[in-house]
Structure formats: C-alpha cells, structure tokens
Amino acid sequence: MSAPDTKFTRLPWWRRWFGARSERVAARYLRKQGLRIVAENVQELVGEIDLLAVEGRTLVVVEVRSSASKSFVELAESIDYPKQRRLTKAAMKFLKKRDLLNVAVRYDILLVRWPDDQSEPEIQHFRHAFDAAGDRYQMYE
C-alpha cells in the first residue's frame, strides 16, 4: 500500500469516519483491559470528551488520538496544555451536571496508529497521563 493521500485526510467526513473508527477500537481495547465504557463523545460547551469509562470507583476521561502517518510521539504531543484544560473543563461540567463532584477522576490518553503494512492498529495507553489542568480545577469549586 502507498502512503496516505494527504488531500483525502483533509476532508471533514473522512476525518470523522477515521476518528469514529479509532474511538471504537479504543473502546474495545479499554473493555479488554477491564474498564467499563459509560459514555462516548460527550459534548459540553467547553469541549468534547471522547470516552468516559469506569475502573473500580474511578471515572476515567479518555482522549483518543489517531493517525495513519504520525508517530506516537507526535500524537502524544498534540495533547498540549490547552487541550488538557479543555478536557478538564468538560469533565468538570459533566460532573457538576450529575452531582458527581465527589467521584475520583483520572485522565488517560489512548493513541491509535494505523500503519499501512499492518491489518490491526498499534495502540499505546497512558494511564493517568495528566492531572486536572488549570489552577481553578486543582480543587473543585
């Protein structure tokens, strides 16, 4: 197979399909690791949470990043501090709406690579990848 067509990956419908495919793979991977998926694509005004899972008594906020051509390092670096802040804000909104501020929360990152020469994706899972970002969220308000 040849390298991915960069013009094709710029199309919005392709990116949505590719992202949804990667999130399905991520959810299946997390289930195999013993986590229970409780929500997908949670929309809040401040941002979107790709997956919400439960492990024991901890709510796990999962950010999924995927690519056919980028390295794991490039994917991980794309989850910068501003993205971490948006995820933290979205998680806080979700928790407040449901009166769950007393629940332990962990932020995980799941990276999915789809190399052309392999039939299955490569996955890297970073548990507790970062703490709640932003000084307002170190303790809930």
Give mean pLDDT in consecutive 10-residue pieces for the chain, a chain of 141 residues: 50 71 92 96 91 96 89 90 94 92 94 87 95 65 43
CB-CB contact of 33 with 50 (8 Å): no
* Structural domains for the chain: 6-137 (3.40.1350.10)
Prediction pTM value: 0.83
Cβ atoms < 10 Å from Cβ of 113:
20
d(CA 8, CA 64): 21
* H or E element in which residue 127 lies: strand 122-130
Which DSSP symbol is given to 120?
A: S
**Phi then psi for 42, rounded to 5 degrees?**
-75, 120
